[in-house]
């Protein structure tokens, strides 16, 4: 899955965004090599199987998305024993990878001893990784997703070393501290320094929005594995471009079977089809579409978003998005 000499583009877990419907769609449209579920919080008790199957229904289908992309299951919590038992349960359900979240900056999560809070306790990171590693069969990789630190970016050096010592098969590093939140830039240089110190693969993450960004990230980190989140959502062709830049062949054979570039109209049409197939309400589907386009809009793309964002009917929304291909004037007229 993630191994040296086998470059990979990974779809970032994004809570509230990359649920199984989006994973199904994004891995069908874009040449991702691997993806990870949104975090599943392990607090007071070990969740029953149905919780894992609800959040990772791919477990029922060989733990891959419809296009065959493996889906790792991400756990978040601070209690080694409960995390280990949860990992055991999810491994029995067929998870191909257990990923541990040491990066979530949400205050509610941090208050309850999970996510980025643990970046202040390297011993606990090691203890958690070790407990989970020992709880699941050796063929199932255990990975860790870290930020650079809580407030000190140098913390990553000890934390990464401890994750490796605990038995992590690879780590992903989001190049920012918890305190830096999501404010640009992401700092890639420390990721490269750590990569040189560890013997496990390192996935570089943060602020890769274009192929140029990827090339700069390669330059600064020397990594061969990259995780893309918001960039993949805001530029429809960036994953294919990055995949090609990495020399992977997947970028060449567009998985959706079309040779022309992806258009908003096409991808949102697909999203509506899959959301309806999943039995989602029209309201939820509409919210998903707006959330997605908003990522592009915030980066200065999809300037027509303002013309569609107040619409309340899915089909009307789709027609207007399709109309944007005939020019913004047409859109304004339709929206009036």
Catalytic annotation, pick one of 35, 104, 217, 242: 104
Cβ distance 26 to 9 under 8 Å?
no
- Residue closer to ligand FMN, measured from CB, 200 or 318: 200
User: Segment near ligand FMN (CB under 6 A), from 45-53, 211-219, 229-237, 302-310?
Assistant: 229-237
User: What tokens appear for 58 in the block?
Assistant: 């791919």
- Residue closer to ligand FMN, measured from CB, 67 or 180: 180
Q: According to CB under 6 A, which one of 208, 211, 255, 286 is a site residue for ligand FMN?
A: 208
Polymer length of the chain: 336
Dmax over CA atoms of the chain, in Å, equals 62
* 230 near ligand FMN (CB under 6 A): yes
Q: What part of residues 170-199 is at the interface with ligand FMN (CB under 6 A)?
A: 174
User: Segment near ligand FMN (CB under 6 A), from 15-23, 126-134, 266-274, 314-322?
Assistant: 15-23
User: Which stretches within 136-210 are classed as H helix?
Assistant: 155-166, 189-197
Distance CA(93)–CA(59), nearest Å, equals 6
Q: According to CB under 6 A, which one of 70, 80, 167, 206 is a site residue for ligand FMN?
A: 206
- Residue closer to ligand FMN, measured from CB, 74 or 221: 74
Assess whether 104 carries a catalytic annotation: yes
253 burial level (CB within 10 Å; 0-12, 13-18, 19+): exposed
Number of residues near ligand FMN (by CB under 6 A): 22
Q: What part of residues 95-154 is at the interface with ligand FMN (CB under 6 A)?
A: 101, 103-104, 145
Least distance from ligand FMN to the Cβ atom of residue 166, Å: 17
User: In sequence order, what DSSP letters do the residues of 24-60 get, joined into one string?
Assistant: HHHHHHS--SEEEPPPEE--SSPPPHHHHHHH-GGGG
Cβ distance 131 to 83 under 8 Å?
yes
- Residue closer to ligand FMN, measured from CB, 242 or 320: 242
Distance CA(227)–CA(208), nearest Å, equals 8
- Residue closer to ligand FMN, measured from CB, 144 or 331: 144
DSSP state of 13: P
- Residue closer to ligand FMN, measured from CB, 155 or 323: 155
DSSP state of 211: H
Least distance from ligand FMN to the Cβ atom of residue 206, Å: 5
User: What tokens appear for 336 in the block?
Assistant: 């009036």
For CA atoms 61, 64, 65, 66, give the dihedral sign: negative
User: Segment near ligand FMN (CB under 6 A), from 9-17, 120-128, 160-168, 249-257?
Assistant: 9-17
Interface mask toward ligand FMN for 72-101; x: CB under 6 A: --x--------------------------x
Report the C-alpha dihedral over residues 173, 200, 93, 127, rounded to 10 degrees: -80
Distance CA(309)–CA(194), nearest Å, equals 43
* 316 near ligand FMN (CB under 6 A): no
* 13 near ligand FMN (CB under 6 A): yes
- Residue closer to ligand FMN, measured from CB, 97 or 323: 97
Least distance from ligand FMN to the Cβ atom of residue 65, Å: 17
User: In sequence order, what DSSP letters do the residues of 73-122 get, joined into one string?
Assistant: EEEE-S-HHHHHHHHHHHHHTT-S-EEEEE----HHHHHTT-GGGGGG-H
Least distance from ligand FMN to the Cβ atom of residue 289, Å: 16
Q: According to CB under 6 A, which one of 7, 78, 153, 231 is a site residue for ligand FMN?
A: 231
Could you give the residue numbers annotated as active site?
104
Give the interface with ligand FMN as residue ranges (CB under 6 A). 12-17, 38-39, 74, 101, 103-104, 145, 174, 205-208, 228-231
């Amino acid at each position: 899955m993630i191994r040296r000499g086998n470059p990979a583009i990974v779809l970032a877990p994004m809570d509230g965004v990359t649920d199984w419907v989006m994973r199904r769609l994004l891995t069908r449209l874009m040449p991702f090599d691997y993806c990870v579920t949104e975090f599943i919080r392990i607090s007071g008790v070990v969740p029953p199987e149905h919780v894992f199957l609800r959040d990772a229904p791919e477990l029922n289908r060989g733990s891959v998305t419809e296009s065959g992309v493996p889906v790792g299951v991400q756990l978040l919590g601070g209690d080694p024993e409960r995390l280990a038992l949860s990992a055991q349960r999810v491994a029995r359900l067929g998870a191909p990878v257990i990923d541990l979240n040491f990066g979530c900056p949400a205050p509610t999560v941090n208050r309850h001893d999970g996510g980025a809070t643990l970046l202040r306790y390297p011993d606990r990171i090691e203890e958690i990784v070790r407990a989970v590693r020992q709880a699941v069969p050796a063929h199932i990789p255990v990975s860790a997703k870290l930020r650079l630190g809580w407030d000190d970016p140098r913390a990553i050096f000890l934390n990464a070393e401890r994750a490796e010592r605990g038995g992590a098969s690879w780590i992903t590093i989001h190049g920012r501290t918890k305190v830096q939140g999501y404010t640009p830039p992401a700092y890639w240089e420390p990721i490269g320094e750590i990569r040189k110190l560890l013997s496990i693969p390192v996935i570089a993450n943060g602020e890769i929005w274009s192929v140029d960004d990827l090339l700069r990230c390669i330059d600064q980190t020397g990594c061969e594995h990259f995780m893309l989140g918001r960039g993949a959502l805001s530029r429809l062709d960036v994953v294919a471009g990055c995949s090609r830049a990495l020399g992977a062949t997947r970028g060449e054979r567009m998985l959706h079977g079309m040779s022309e570039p992806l258009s908003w109209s096409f991808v949102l049409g697909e999203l509506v089809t899959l959301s309806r197939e999943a039995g989602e309400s029209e309201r939820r589907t509409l919210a998903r579409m707006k959330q997605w386009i908003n990522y592009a809009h915030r980066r200065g793309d999809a300037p027509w978003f303002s013309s569609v964002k107040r619409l309340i009917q899915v089909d009307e929304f789709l027609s207007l998005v399709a109309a944007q291909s005939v020019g913004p004037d047409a859109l304004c007229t339709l929206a009036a």
